[in-house]
A and B are shown apart, each in its own frame.
Chain A
Amino acid sequence: MDEISCEVRFGRYGGRFVPETLVQPLLELAEAFERLRVDPEFLRELSTLMRDFAGRPTPLYRAENLSRALGRDVYLKREDLLHGGAHKINNTLGQGLLAKYMKKKRLIAETGAGQHGVATAIVGALLGFETEIYMGEVDIERQRMNVFRMELLGARVIPVRSGSRTLKDAINEALRDWAASYESTHYLLGTVAGPHPYPSMVREFQRVIGDETRSQILAEEKRLPDSIVACVGGGSNAMGIFTPFIDDDVRLIAVEAGGRGPGGGDRSAEHGASLAFGDPGVLHGAMTKILQDPYGQILESYSIAAGLDYPGVGPELAHLVETGRVETATASDRTAIMGFKALSKLEGIIPALESAHAVGYAMEHPEMLGELSVINISGRGDKDLHTVMAYESV
């Protein structure tokens, strides 16, 4: 990790739009992160855990069959091979260890599909925290397996009954909890969204994806790729793989959930594409692009991939899109299902439905990839089998 202190703002986005009670906990967290990110003992402990517990480095795999099908060289960054089955563990190990150094006793987290909840529960068990996961009632119903997984790992799942009873409300509830519990508790936010320092801190814990990709592709191909494709929910796997390439001549493509397409009703959107269709506003403590109605009420998002079903996005991505550095694209449910099945058949790799958005996009737009491309496979698809089966049967 480099030594520049992390940013509060990214152009007009970012900041810390929180109740006064949360200002001190966030300052304390930012201070601890600044201190520990250059602390040799912390970094040694983290990289040992990343290697021996999580399974880093992950391979950068040259996908021969997919390359042949698309008529160009395509590599897959295999975050699906990590412990827990997704890139989420990079962040939960980082923040979990940070919380341990800060002498916190309890972890709280939000989860939508349960992926980040599971990754937090894993780290809570590993490092000996009391762990409580906020999860919307609707999501608990949809994701029984992950609820059981979290409980098996020793975490308590707290149902959220407010608002739309999904991920955004789980984040609200975690923030409310933290406002009263911060002295003993760390709020382990799962993506590059939220108030400062979360967007920069989570990015720094996830940039290991991009750092590895860079040295791996240079070793294999002796050059940088023409493009990198990643899916975007909050943006953590995308920022993780994009960050080390920001100053290079590499096309960075952020694929959001197109869902059933643009449009939607008064209270809900039919997609999760905040970068493509959102407007500037404040959600969960940050100024960013959000899905909202003309009065500023937050809309419910939609995607077949629970991890992309979020009406906001990390503020740094909003900024990078506004400056033109990152390109946005959307992949519909249908495209994601196509990518899910194609990668399974072509390469013997079942991607998470989230990652399948990146795969599906790449397959439909090979001309955007250049001659040499990397797709981030942020997670594995075992969790999604029942969703795909249900999709197929209608």
Chain B
Amino acid sequence: MSLSEVFGRCKPLIVYICAGDPSPDETVEIAERIARAGADVLELGLPHSDPIADGPVIQAASQRAIAAGMNTDLYFDIASRIEGVPKVFMGYYNMVYRRGLERFASDCRASGICGMIVPDLPMEESRPLREAASRHGIDLINMIAPNTPDKRIREIIALSSGFVYLVARAGVTGASADLLESTKHLIERVPPVIPRAVGFGVSRPEHAAELLRAGADGVIVGSACVDLIGRNELDRLEDLIRRMKLAMTEVSVKSAASIQQS
């Protein structure tokens, strides 16, 4: 299923995990449990030694995975064994560049990955990978931050396919207690000509619901889940995802009802 089909059917819950954490053997099972619990899209991270966009939780997961022997070959092997959920790659540019852009995109395709998120690849640097990805039918997902000016937002959207990733706050990934007013403002600033999924700091069902009410087309949760995997609390992980998905479904049902009433 393509990303535009996913967003056409629902407002997806997108769940990030770090491939190979705690070990390459366990990732397939964890991913499938996440999918069964209600994740609509799996964002599968390829761990990097120097994850500059990530906070302490994902840094620690990346280190665990690398120490457990995770590498790019294993990554695609794992990805191709995860079934029943659309998959998106997330990883740093050097890992992609080192394998070769064309080969990387082709490996994504072959292992059933339909999109790529590369957090250290801003618009200006993204053309070579965008072209390689598009030759293999893969969406390169662009990010938009709270400090991205309106004009640049329009330029980014013009280059985007699949969805755009709205960064909910300045700084790095990691769970936070509250969502900021600035996040809601950011959603308003991005015209709904392409699905807008919001991530960074989302950790609770209330956040997910609030984001949908603010107009988001999808919600991305990462550190909150990675943290539970790190503690080996897989039942709580499933529970969190179930409650998030439920909160999101309730918002969608209510808004559908209110549209019908009006």
Hey, which bits of chain A sit against chain B, CB under 8 A? Answer: 15-21, 23-25, 162-164, 168-169, 172, 175-176, 179-180, 182, 279-285, 290, 292, 294-298
Closest-by-CB residue of A relative to B152 is: A23
A168 to chain B: which residues have CB within 8 Å?
A: 50
Contact with A along B137-158 (1 / 0, CB 8 A): 0000011111111001000000
Provided the pairs A162-B59, A168-B50, A296-B72 are in contact, do residues A20 and B143 lie with their beta carbons within 8 angstroms? Answer: yes
Instruction: Flag the segment in B95-103, B191-199, B206-214 that touches A.
Output: B95-103
Cβ–Cβ contact B49 & A163, under 8 A: yes
User: Whole-angstrom distance from the CB of B84 to the nearest CB of chain A?
Assistant: 28
B121 within 8 A of A: yes
Could you tell me the distance between the alpha carbons of A279 and B97 in the complex, rounded to whole angstroms? 11
Cβ–Cβ contact B125 & A15, under 8 A: yes
B87 to chain A: which residues have CB within 8 Å?
A: none
Partner of A283, one of B56, B66, B94: B94
User: Whole-angstrom distance from the CB of B173 to the nearest CB of chain A?
Assistant: 10
Hey, which bits of chain B sit against chain A, CB under 8 A? Answer: 48-53, 55-56, 59-60, 63, 66, 71-73, 92-99, 119-122, 124-125, 142-149, 152, 167, 169-172
A21 to chain B: which residues have CB within 8 Å?
A: 145-147, 167, 170-171
Cβ–Cβ contact B120 & A24, under 8 A: no
Contact count A vs B, C-beta below 8 Å: 115
| 3 cross-chain pairs, A with B, having the tightest CB-CB distances, nearest first | A296-B98, A180-B171, A296-B95
Provided the pairs A162-B59, A175-B52 are in contact, do residues A16 and B98 lie with their beta carbons within 8 angstroms? Answer: no
Could you tell me the distance between the alpha carbons of A182 and B71 in the complex, rounded to whole angstroms? 34
Could you tell me the distance between the alpha carbons of A295 and B152 in the complex, rounded to whole angstroms? 33
Cβ–Cβ contact B94 & A281, under 8 A: yes
B147 to chain A: which residues have CB within 8 Å?
A: 21, 24-25
Could you tell me the distance between the alpha carbons of A17 and B135 in the complex, rounded to whole angstroms? 23
Provided the pairs A21-B145, A295-B72 are in contact, do residues A16 and B52 lie with their beta carbons within 8 angstroms? Answer: no
User: Whole-angstrom distance from the CB of A290 to the nearest CB of chain B?
Assistant: 8
Partner of B122, one of A16, A175, A290, A295: A16
Cβ–Cβ contact B121 & A297, under 8 A: no
Partner of B149, one of A16, A19, A24: A24
User: Whole-angstrom distance from the CB of B79 to the nearest CB of chain A?
Assistant: 15
User: Whole-angstrom distance from the CB of B157 to the nearest CB of chain A?
Assistant: 13
B93 to chain A: which residues have CB within 8 Å?
A: 17, 282
B99 to chain A: which residues have CB within 8 Å?
A: 295-296
Closest-by-CB residue of B relative to A175 is: B52
Partner of B63, one of A20, A163, A290, A298: A163
B125 to chain A: which residues have CB within 8 Å?
A: 15-17
Cβ–Cβ contact B171 & A176, under 8 A: yes
User: Whole-angstrom distance from the CB of B153 to the nearest CB of chain A?
Assistant: 10
Besides the known contacts A15-B125, A23-B152, 15 further A-B residue pairs in the complex with CB atoms under 8 A apart: A16-B125, A17-B125, A19-B119, A21-B145, A23-B148, A25-B147, A179-B53, A281-B94, A283-B94, A295-B72, A296-B48, A296-B72, A296-B95, A298-B49, A298-B94
User: Whole-angstrom distance from the CB of B180 to the nearest CB of chain A?
Assistant: 12
A17 to chain B: which residues have CB within 8 Å?
A: 93, 120-122, 125
Provided the pairs A163-B49, A172-B50, A297-B49 are in contact, do residues A20 and B94 lie with their beta carbons within 8 angstroms? Answer: no
Could you tell me the distance between the alpha carbons of A210 and B242 in the complex, rounded to whole angstroms? 64
A-B residue pairs in contact (CB < 8 Å), sample of 28: A15-B125, A18-B52, A20-B144, A20-B148, A20-B167, A21-B147, A23-B145, A24-B147, A162-B63, A169-B50, A172-B52, A179-B53, A179-B172, A180-B171, A282-B93, A282-B120, A284-B52, A285-B52, A290-B94, A292-B94, A292-B98, A295-B73, A295-B99, A296-B92, A296-B96, A296-B98, A296-B99, A297-B48
Provided the pairs A162-B56, A176-B172 are in contact, do residues A19 and B120 lie with their beta carbons within 8 angstroms? Answer: yes
Could you tell me the distance between the alpha carbons of A300 and B89 in the complex, rounded to whole angstroms? 26
A290 to chain B: which residues have CB within 8 Å?
A: 94
Could you tell me the distance between the alpha carbons of A294 and B73 in the complex, rounded to whole angstroms? 11
User: Whole-angstrom distance from the CB of B199 to the nearest CB of chain A?
Assistant: 12
A25 to chain B: which residues have CB within 8 Å?
A: 147
Partner of B97, one of A20, A179, A296: A296
Partner of A19, one of B50, B52, B72, B94: B52
Cβ–Cβ contact A176 & B48, under 8 A: no
B152 to chain A: which residues have CB within 8 Å?
A: 23
